[in-house]
Structure 1
Amino acid sequence: ILDYFNVEKPQLLATIKPQVKDLTKVEKELIKETDSIQKALEIMTTENYSSLPVVNKNNKLVNMVHISEIANAYLEMSTRDIFFDYETTFENVWESLKDFSVIISGVYPTGKIEGRLRGVSELAKISKGDVVITTLFSGHIKNAEKAGAKIIFLCVDKNDQIPDYNINIPIVRVNKGIFKTFKMISQSVPVKSILKHKTFSHFNTTDFIEDIQDIMKESSQTNFPVVNEDGTIFSTIRSKHIMNFGKNEVILVVHNENSQSVDGIETAKILEIVDHHKFGNFETSEPLMIRAAAVGCTCTIIYRLFKEEGIIPDKTIAGLMLSAILSDTLIFKSPTCTPKDIKAAKELANIAGLDYQSYGMKMLIAGTSLEDKTPDEIITMDMKEFSMGNFQTAVAQINTVDIDGLLNNRKDLESAMSTMIDKNNYNLFLLVMTDIVNNGSKILALGDSTELVEKGFNIELIDGIAWLEGVVSRKKQIIPFLVAASQGM
């Protein structure tokens, strides 16, 4: 049907329990392992963080950097050997100095720094590739060039005039004193150079919030990285992000019982119910809108909602709603069908520009093809659970034009049914195979309470199978009889 109307298949949610990816207020700040510790400090100071997630060039989480690690690195740094002990790049040095600096000669270098950092007191020791920090009064600019210095950082006052040194290596004017310049350069070392292996907690986007709350509460860690399935960073979260996280909001359509709903429904806020089934034992924490009617299809109710709002559905939506009504009512043959369903279907067919009889028969026949379905898929594609007194039951219904062909795989079907019985502690699993041409259903019953079927329909199961003439509706012709039979057992 979706292909017929060129509609993209909607996403199937396996659960609506709140997951980390549902958090709307998260922190997105991170640091790359090649970024400078100065940049890390700036982010921590601005955002009031004590730690940051560290990612590699592919944006994958590799570590965490804590502010205490940066502080300890400062205490341990040797200025002379800083570029050997903590590998860094000319790009990082420029990032640390650029707000107070200007290139006044030559081309600023790029890449890894191979030499040592030399100050005024060490100008006589300059070797090839060294980075030199000096002043206007040192008199060693030319000597630094001859010794093979890679670059000279000239520390001056902002009002100082710089003479033309006419040398072939780059000179950078830094409007700061030597001590301050040394300090800023020491902040240029990359984050990865100070990191130590550590154990830290991180979460996946698919983790449930209820599962991570205790971990966050008991951990001394304050920031927790969150990664996507491929290991790339998604965000960072703190306890405050999950303290007041609201429930997911849902509207229940074509069902109203928790046992028939998506996993995690008990954690959600139900805004509305639109349904045409009986109401089970469900509770809500606050009032909600309920639109229910004794009709053959919930789309008949939904179409009424369109009309109440004065909205005419487009051809695609009209075609989809028409398909639902024709399917649920077996083109008006089902005992659940009402005049309201017929009227709605005819109006929708007119909007969609379809002959409902011709389209409906083609749709039903196409829908009965089970060639590409596994036994598990066959028994679960339209299965509902019911609590009937002391009995837990599952009733699956399949529309087909070839019941015998379906039962050729009876052994595999029964194996799949038995697995579901054991997994969910069902007393009865009833597979209803509805013949849309001959207007009846063949049933296959499995479980320790198959007598419920025999009593409900006043029949005898032969090898677990029976034919129910004229029975095509699970809602009106199957469930009420099973419920009645369970009350006397």
Structure 2
Amino acid sequence: MNSEIFVIGHTNPDTDSICSAIAYAELKKKITGGNYKAKRAGQINSETKFVLERFGVPAPSYQPDVRTQVKDVEIRKSPGVDGNISLKTAWSTMRQNSDVTLPIVDDQNHLVGLITVGDIAKSYMDVYDNKVLFTAKTPIKNIIDTLDGELVVGDENDYLSEGKVLVSAANPDLMEDYIEEGDLVILGNRYESQLSSIEMKAGCIIVCDGAAVSKSITIMAQNNQCIIIKSPYDTFTVSRLINQSMPISFFMSTKDLITFTSEDYIEDIQVVMAKKRHRHFPIIDKNGCYFGMISRRNLLGARKKKVILMDHNEKSQAVDGIEEAEILEIIDHHRLGSLETISPVFFRNQPLGCTSTIVYLMYKENNVEVEPQIAGLLCSAILSDTLVYRSPTCTEVDRTAAEELAKIANINVEKYAKEMFDAGSNLSSKSPEEIFYQDFKKFTAGDITFGVGQINSMSKEELEKIKDKLIPYMEKAHGDHGVAMLFFMLTNILESSTELLCRGHGARELAINAYRLDRNTENIYLPGVVSRKKQVIPALMFTLQHDS
């Protein structure tokens, strides 16, 4: 079973979202010893990439969806079998393991077919062809095993290729009219019958009742390349059992096999299962190899993925499938959003400038030492979110935390922050789409959903170039998201100002009303506005609620 607990930020992760997830996962491991793993729900931006590389920390793996998957279910690890095993062996395996379906695999463990109890029943009840053992290319080894026999003459690795099965119930003279070259003859201890069968070039004779085979018959069989198998069973029993020696590959289903992968989502495979009457379905792993079997009953024990949400508590910003996951904790510094949970959760929300500040406080509260790498990540996140203390969201707690962490990480705050922002604002080679989604979030006010993106730069000229790229792209983004309005903040860090781009019916009017600007304002320029969380979202929300 999957015991991982994902620590994950929002779908358009910024530096705080990624760094706080990594740091908090490490803290939880040290406190509880649990299997906590930092994940990301979106692509990492240039600034965050710089930070991770600077401190030698690998980026969290991508987790686009947290719906329950096949790998979250207790899969029946029924081993795959070789297609050459006999029907009798397959039946015994099924009874022993209480299986109704056996997966057949090749020597690379790739699934090649399936055989069910029903297939075995049909093979026994519906076959009246005395040539079927030859048609099925039945291995001699299977015949020996099925009849509890002993190989007297021949090679057990050989197989039946051409002929039919006969029972020597008549006298030798009469049998000579029936035996043809290559046939398999079931007979008793009569020397004359054994001799006649070999002379008629039978390919194999089965001597029943454990009767002895004379030396002369043995030599003659060797000279005529006739296989001799001795069985302790009587003629009737051998005749009844011999069809069970056929290889299951002859009866297995190979076309239109319904398989699932370990990465498939439960809600998707339930639809397929409901349309089919099969009791078990094979699971294929990511390498294309057979992994196990799953049934409808297994789905009843499916465990939801366990997640800890970092730096957000809005459903619109959360990873896909969050409504099906089990949320254990939420660590955030934003307003309370629309996310609902079934059970009570640990929810820590503080009015600070950065989620990483909260994580640092939790390290101190639990007396856990902050390692230099983690300190570097947390400090970077605080500097990024507070714009090096320039943002109105920045508190004295944030500043103190950043300075303490900088000492642990051995970095100069002003110098390092400039390098970090330069790396993050080097957007000239990026496409409008990459720029737009570098830091984009959705919000809901009543019945209205709107999106707000933001780019920070220390260069006025770069912001102008970005603006020229974004204006035409925002039309497409507005249609793609189906939101009422889109806004994009072009924030100048050095000047502590923002130009707000608007798209959608009523978006421009909303911004003008929110900031009490002149109706004839051409560009919406907002001096002193740098924080989306504290200066833009509240203003838009208040105006929307007031207008409604």
Under a length normalisation based on structure 1, what TM-score does the superposition of the two structures give?
Answer: 0.85
Instruction: Determine if contact 2:306/2:325 at 8 Å carries over to the other structure.
Output: yes
Secondary structure, counterpart of 1:65 in structure 2: strand
Alpha-carbon displacement from aligned partner over 1:396-452 (angstroms, at most 9, x marks no partner): 111223454454365652344223322333222111122233332222111112211
Secondary structure, counterpart of 1:478 in structure 2: helix
Q: Residue 117 of structure 2 aligns to which amino acid in structure 1?
A: I
How is 1:276-355 mapped onto 2 (pairs within 5 angstroms)?
A: 276-355=333-412
Structure 2 alignment gaps of length 5 or more: 1-50
Q: In the superposition, relative to structure 1, how do residues 229 and 460 fare at CA in structure 2: closer, same or farther (>3 Å)?
A: farther
Q: Residue 254 of structure 1 aligns to which amino acid in structure 2?
A: D
Taking the aligned partners of 1:458 and 1:112, their CA distance within structure 2 comes to 93
Instruction: Determine if contact 1:53/1:65 at 8 Å carries over to the other structure.
Output: yes
**1:22 Cα offset (Å):** 2.5
Query: Which among 491, 515, 520 is matched to residue 457 of structure 1?
Result: 515
Q: Residue 9 of structure 1 aligns to which amino acid in structure 2?
A: A
**1:69 Cα offset (Å):** 2.6
Taking the aligned partners of 2:309 and 2:530, their CA distance within structure 1 comes to 25
1:15 aligns with 2:65: yes
Alpha-carbon displacement from aligned partner over 1:234-258 (angstroms, at most 9, x marks no partner): 4332221112423222111100111
Under a length normalisation based on structure 2, what TM-score does the superposition of the two structures give?
Answer: 0.76
Taking the aligned partners of 2:431 and 2:503, their CA distance within structure 1 comes to 19
Q: Residue 480 of structure 1 aligns to which amino acid in structure 2?
A: P
Instruction: Give the total of aligned pairs.
Output: 485
Secondary structure, counterpart of 1:431 in structure 2: strand
What is residue 529 of structure 2 aligned with on the other side? Answer: 471
1:74 aligns with 2:104: no
What is residue 417 of structure 1 aligned with on the other side? Answer: 474
Q: Residue 88 of structure 1 aligns to which amino acid in structure 2?
A: T
Q: Residue 2 of structure 1 aligns to which amino acid in structure 2?
A: L
**1:14 Cα offset (Å):** 1.8
Structure 1 alignment gaps of length 5 or more: none
1:433 aligns with 2:433: no
Q: In the superposition, relative to structure 1, how do residues 487 and 48 fare at CA in structure 2: closer, same or farther (>3 Å)?
A: same
**1:30 Cα offset (Å):** 4.7
Alpha-carbon displacement from aligned partner over 1:440-475 (angstroms, at most 9, x marks no partner): 222211111221111222335888743322322211
Instruction: Determine if contact 2:77/2:291 at 8 Å carries over to the other structure.
Output: no
Instruction: Determine if contact 1:52/1:223 at 8 Å carries over to the other structure.
Output: no
Instruction: Determine if contact 2:333/2:353 at 8 Å carries over to the other structure.
Output: yes
**1:394 Cα offset (Å):** 0.6
Taking the aligned partners of 1:207 and 1:347, their CA distance within structure 2 comes to 45
Instruction: Determine if contact 1:254/1:274 at 8 Å carries over to the other structure.
Output: yes
1:209 aligns with 2:266: yes
414-423 or 124-133, larger mean C-alpha shift: 124-133
Secondary structure, counterpart of 2:245 in structure 1: coil
Taking the aligned partners of 1:478 and 1:153, their CA distance within structure 2 comes to 90
Secondary structure, counterpart of 2:339 in structure 1: coil
107-116 or 368-377, larger mean C-alpha shift: 107-116
Instruction: Determine if contact 1:136/1:154 at 8 Å carries over to the other structure.
Output: yes
Query: Which among 535, 542, 547 is matched to residue 484 of structure 1?
Result: 542
1:87 aligns with 2:144: no
Taking the aligned partners of 1:283 and 1:381, their CA distance within structure 2 comes to 26
448-457 or 115-124, larger mean C-alpha shift: 115-124
**1:80 Cα offset (Å):** 3.6
Q: Residue 68 of structure 2 aligns to which amino acid in structure 1?
A: P
Q: In the superposition, relative to structure 1, how do residues 404 and 127 fare at CA in structure 2: closer, same or farther (>3 Å)?
A: farther
Secondary structure, counterpart of 1:277 in structure 2: coil
Secondary structure, counterpart of 2:491 in structure 1: strand
Q: Residue 339 of structure 2 aligns to which amino acid in structure 1?
A: F
How is 1:383-402 mapped onto 2 (pairs within 5 angstroms)?
A: 383-402=440-459
How is 1:45-444 mapped onto 2 (pairs within 5 angstroms)?
A: 45-53=95-103, 64-78=114-128, 80-93=130-143, 96=146, 100-103=148-151, 107-110=155-158, 113-121=161-169, 124=176, 129-131=182-184, 133-138=186-191, 148=201, 153-157=206-210, 167=219, 168=222, 171-195=228-252, 202-213=259-270, 215-217=272-274, 219-227=276-284, 233-408=290-465, 410=467, 412-444=469-501
Taking the aligned partners of 1:192 and 1:455, their CA distance within structure 2 comes to 75
Instruction: Determine if contact 1:133/1:152 at 8 Å carries over to the other structure.
Output: yes
Larger RCO (CA within 8 A; separation ≥ 6) = 2
Taking the aligned partners of 2:460 and 2:158, their CA distance within structure 1 comes to 75
Taking the aligned partners of 1:308 and 1:90, their CA distance within structure 2 comes to 73
